[in-house]
Amino acid sequence: MTGEGPRRLHKRRRTRWMIAGTATVVALGVGTAVVLTRVSSGSAVASPQGPAPIQTAEVTRTDLADKRSVSGKLGYGVETTLAGRKQGTITGLPAIGDVLDRGESVYKVDAKPVPLFHGDIPMYRPVGPGVSDGPDVRLVEENLRALGFGGFGTPDEKFTTATANAVKKWQKALKLEQNGTVDVGDVVITTGSFRVSTLLASLGSQGGTDVLKYTGVNRGVTVRIKAEQRDSAKPGAKVTVSVGGKQATGTVQQVTLAPPDDNQGMPGQDQGTKFDVSITLDDPAAITAPDASSVDVRFTVRSQKGVLTVPVGALLALAEGGYAIEVVEGAARRLIPVRTGLFADGKVEVSGPDLREGMRVVTTS
């Protein structure tokens, strides 16, 4: 190494100084480190005036994150279809853009409101006097108490006389039949408030049809990804969203299978399974672009914490294989072999027994 180092260093210095002619770029490794070999063009060139000043950079310890960009759309997230379960004729519908909260009427059947309850499970049976214990009883009691109709104590899975009385008071407030029972189609259940995005039914439609589509209430981004990209788009993962020169951070909220029709490619082509990713903006006011604007979303594929890094342009490909960096020590320079790790944002993770934070290295960028 010591015998070859000066000759290799001398050759590298001449390559830097002699910039006339044509340079052939040979990609190495991941394609970011290169060796420049000067090739004569066969024509006369002016003699160089002298060596150009070298560029140096410091070996720093930092976090690296390899990110991949995917195009998305600004809006209110993935749409969910709401199926009607109340038998009868639809006589009232919300407007597109309406935000509905717990207790509000989502639509009307036979001139009677079908209000919104919050919960994680659907109604799967009538909940009323004589019903056996179950999580749907707790769901009804939690919503009644949130709406101001209590008297049964802490919500639990037991339906009592006090629960029936609370149901009747709630029914009276809505001008419904006061029978003390909440039937399967009497309420709409979602995990939270929602925004009406599309109307599927019309006045006069049967109550058992698909009524509408809804989204979350906060502005966000929707991205469609391939199955192999799911590992970087898990709920809770942080992303960067860019549009119109502005940048904001976001959080993955939900990943759902894309509709079957959207998973179909052209005849004879296998497009593979795809997923819709719903992302909320950490600061909704940070992005002011109009709805449906195309945005760039960057997912973190891999990251490393607290590693030594240098600019990618500091890497030298060794003839015998591997990489080195050229360290500047006062008026002297020497080559240090290094192992490379993660490449990201023009930097590369490097390690080696002779490498130290704060060293200065020769770089082309």
Classified as helix, coil or strand, 322 is coil
Region of 239 please: left (phi>0), alpha (psi -120 to 50) or beta.
beta
The reported pLDDT for the residue numbered 348 is 94
pLDDT above 90 coverage of the chain, percent: 65
- Flag whether pLDDT at 71 surpasses 80: yes
Tens digit of each residue's pLDDT (9 = 90 or more) over 204-252? 999 999 999 999 898 889 999 998 888 888 899 999 999 988 899 999 9
- Find the mean pLDDT for residues 96-122: 97
User: Quick check: is 230 in a domain?
Assistant: yes
pLDDT band at 262 (very low <50, low <70, confident <90, very high): low
Contact yes or no for 272/42 (Cβ under 8 A): no
Residue 226 placed within a domain? yes
Contact residues for 165 (Cβ-Cβ < 8 A; gap 6+): 151, 152, 180
Q: What are the helix and strand counts (H, E) for the chain? A: 3, 22
Q: Is 265 part of any domain? A: yes
Comparing CA positions, the residue from 359, 335, 328, 339 lying closest to residue 5 is 335
Structural domain of 287: 68-76+219-300
pLDDT at 52: 64
Mean pLDDT of 154-162: 97
Taking the CA of residue 298 as centre, how many other CA atoms within 13 Å lie in the half-sphere pointing to its CB?
13
Q: Distance between CA 79 and CA 76 in Å, rounded?
A: 8
Give all strands (DSSP E) within 151-268, no chain letters: 188-190, 194-199, 210-215, 220-226, 238-243, 246-257
Among candidates 256, 252, 257, 254, which has minimal Cα distance to 273? 257
Sign of the C-alpha dihedral, residues 194, 195, 198, 202? positive
For residue 256 the two structure tokens come to 């759902």
CATH number of the domain encompassing residue 284: 2.40.30.170
Count of other CB atoms within 10 angstroms of residue 150:
16
Domain assignment present for 50? no
User: Which residues, 6+ apart, have CB-to-CB distance to 209 below 8 Å?
Assistant: 83, 84, 90, 200, 201
Predicted local confidence at residue 148, as pLDDT: 97
- Find all residues with CB under 8 Å of 25, minimum gap 6, and list them: 34, 35, 36
* Residue 311 and residue 338 in contact, taking contact as beta carbons nearer than 8 Å: no
In-domain check, residue 1: no
Structure pTM? 0.61
Residues in Cβ contact with 195 at an 8 Å cutoff, skipping those fewer than 6 apart: 76, 97, 98, 99, 100, 214, 215, 216, 217
User: Is residue 154 predicted with pLDDT exceeding 60?
Assistant: yes
Quote the pLDDT of residue 11.
40
Q: Is 272 part of a structural domain of the chain?
A: yes
Residues near 352 by beta carbon (within 8 Å), at least 6 away in sequence? 336, 337, 338, 339
- Choose among 314, 340, 322, 335: nearest CA to 8: 335
Whether 110 maps to a domain, the answer reads no
Residue 172 inside a domain? The answer is: no
Count of domains observed in the chain: 1
pLDDT in tens, 296-321: 999 988 889 999 999 999 999 998 89
The model's pLDDT over 17-67, given as tens digits with 9 standing for 90+, comes to 332 333 323 333 333 333 432 222 243 444 455 566 789 999 999 999 888
Average pLDDT, the chain: 84
- 8 Å CB contact between 117 and 102: yes
* pLDDT at 314 (0 to 100): 94
User: Kindly report the CA angle at 78 between 73 and 82, in degrees rounded to 5?
Assistant: 145
Mean pLDDT, to the nearest integer, of 118-140? Answer: 97
